[in-house]
Structure 1
């Protein structure tokens, strides 16, 4: 299992590093991308040499095993150095050569000190361990501690620059990639800190394991996966983003169903495509279906204008106590539609001569940006009020009561004491006030 994780992490690093190096060739290439490639290639090679099966095969030749172990260690230090160069490039894309040269000198000094400590330790290599005599334990422990300290410092520098960039970056794929890189830095720090168990082992018993253990291999693979994903987020984000957009559009399409269905029952002509199967669009067609549904709802709204009731605003205001958590404009819009549907069902137009009321202007909702997303968000609020608002339910009851009273009084003939313009309808009911309580 440790072998699999080591080779998996190495594959992520090497493929990504080679790919980035190939696409960033040229004098004008982004220096940060070149440094990222250097980090990935160095770390990928180090993981290959550190895989348990590779170290076991190399241990047959003690001289070669010791040399490869030192090279593996230094490859990791070089990878950390590239991270500092990445942070330097992120801080200032046009950073001068002096700053980069200073980091290179620091990395070179760290590598030289690491080699000197390794040679001073005079380690003996066995099939699975690197061991030293009691008098050289300090050198081997310092060798391991230097690696952990330098790696942690490099990762801290990178994480700080990434955090600054995240705060300045608008939400989107780039910001997602930066967050993944920050997670990679966090797991990389944990991976580096795991080396401290070697320091304890060096000081206490004078030896350390050569290959990667299970925990170290897992942390390395996770770091590789997150780093690769973060650096390529803008490439794979669009491919993965499409299903997410489809699911979101389908959910919104279904959420508008109650309002659309109520309009469609009274106004079936609003359906641009009357096919029944299209009421359940597949995910790839969900965005287009949502766009069409928004248009159909607006068409239904326009078709209901002759049935808009002038008293809806007053009724809604009287019943708004139960809707303090809702947008009052959305509640008024939903109540207007609900009342118009009741009038349409009863055949009570509000714009003709002898109508129960004067046709009012449509309620003016707050300005909505002319985008499908903004229109959908507004209609979702209206739909929620249409199905769940107590004020809208009260308006429905008032209109139904007025319709019932109108029908009863109309059956009495012209001799009844009706309101002007509505034979047989009492004035209070014609005004739409409905029953008064309290």
Structure 2
């Protein structure tokens, strides 16, 4: 593999981390956010420092032949720990248990990193090897143990990741399960990477030469595993965000008929609260819901509980379920109030003594159901005798 094969994924991880940094600053106390950012940072560092050109440059700058070996192995170990910590925090559970488990993984891999550095210092690796250090020094005292130890750490991490993800996948559904199964596939590549490395090292111990497994095959397996695992981590988050956005925009559109009906009361105010078309789905929905609540509040003096009762009874008699009957009754009362408000251009406040019942139920109204009723004209057919009172009757009530 050439340097670009390492630098491109390193750059991708850096870009992803840059996008996540503002969220990390805002939610520094969130363990899951810290775990995600740590994983992205360590993954980028692993790819960057594992590139042969970087290995040679680091060795040159430090003046120590093969200084990059314990550096890259330590970064790989830290990355393995970050993956396990991320899964533990992502899965959730009691906060104390999550902290305890995360601390255990961090401490365990920290000890591993200290052991790797110590073994490198004790060993003797004077000849610089950019791509085949594992097999070239497979029989060198202390360096040999360092190589085996880091491979054992990677293998244990892969097995634990697959175990945790498979166990969690059996408990969930949807895109989360798909993502977890993809992560399992990705870490299976990582396990194959460790197996290829072990096979090449063991072959050296037996006097054979299987260096190609370590030098050529293993890096390809590691790259495939990293990319597949990244898809597994990202897929549930992206799909959930798309699903949430779709649901939000669907709700926004469904509220359209009710929003437009209430605009008849104060169209100028409705125009003044419009927000840019490029606003987020959540902001657009919040604005529309706010407009609707403001419109209902403005209509409140004109709500007639008799209209509501007649429409509700008629809907039940027509076979509607209780929730649908409530929505039909609310829609009838709203449209009647809109007409009554239009018949009162002076805006004289109607006596609200009879409005106690609508006020009590307003908080429980299902705005989407009401809006969907308004979408199906004639939406007040189930309310006999509900038609808006003529302007003279409205003024008569206001005397």
Structure 2 unaligned regions, length at least 5: 90-94, 345-352, 389-399
Query: Alignment RMSD, CA only?
Result: 6.6
Matched, 1:3 2:6: yes
Distance 1:292 1:31 in 2: 37
Aligned length: 337
Distance 1:281 1:313 in 2: 36
Structure 1 unaligned regions, length at least 5: 168-177, 234-240, 348-358, 404-438
Residue number in structure 1 paired with 2:116: 111
Distance 1:210 1:45, change over 3 A: farther
After TM superposition, give the deviation of residue 282 of structure 1 in Å. Answer: 2.2
Residue number in structure 1 paired with 2:349: none
Distance 1:18 1:333 in 2: 47
Residue number in structure 1 paired with 2:304: 305
Distance 2:357 2:19 in 1: 57
Residue number in structure 2 paired with 1:273: 268
Residue number in structure 1 paired with 2:392: none
Asked if the contact 1:14/1:41 (under 8 Å) is kept, the reply is yes
Distance 1:11 1:306, change over 3 A: closer
SS at match of 1:273: helix
Distance 1:19 1:259, change over 3 A: closer
After TM superposition, give the deviation of residue 319 of structure 1 in Å. Answer: 0.7
Residue number in structure 2 paired with 1:47: 47
Distance 1:224 1:305 in 2: 58
Distance 1:94 1:103 in 2: 12
Q: After superposition, what is the alpha-carbon deviation per residue over 1:33-66, rounded to whole angstroms, capped at 9, x for unaligned?
A: 9999987776654432212433476899xx9664
Q: Give TM-score scaled by structure 2 length.
A: 0.53
Q: Give TM-score scaled by structure 1 length.
A: 0.50
Distance 1:65 1:211 in 2: 25
Distance 1:209 1:362, change over 3 A: same
Question: Which structure carries more relative contact order (alpha carbon 8 Å, separation 6+)?
Answer: 1
Match for 1:282 among 261, 273, 276? 276
Q: After superposition, what is the alpha-carbon deviation per residue over 1:381-419, rounded to whole angstroms, capped at 9, x for unaligned?
A: 1111233389x46426x559x99xxxxxxxxxxxxxxxx
Residue number in structure 2 paired with 1:316: 315
Q: How does 1:54-93 map to 2 (within 5 A)?
A: 54-55=54-55, 66-80=66-80, 91=97, 93=99
Distance 1:334 1:193, change over 3 A: same
- Which of the pair has more CA radius of gyration? 1
Residue number in structure 1 paired with 2:350: none
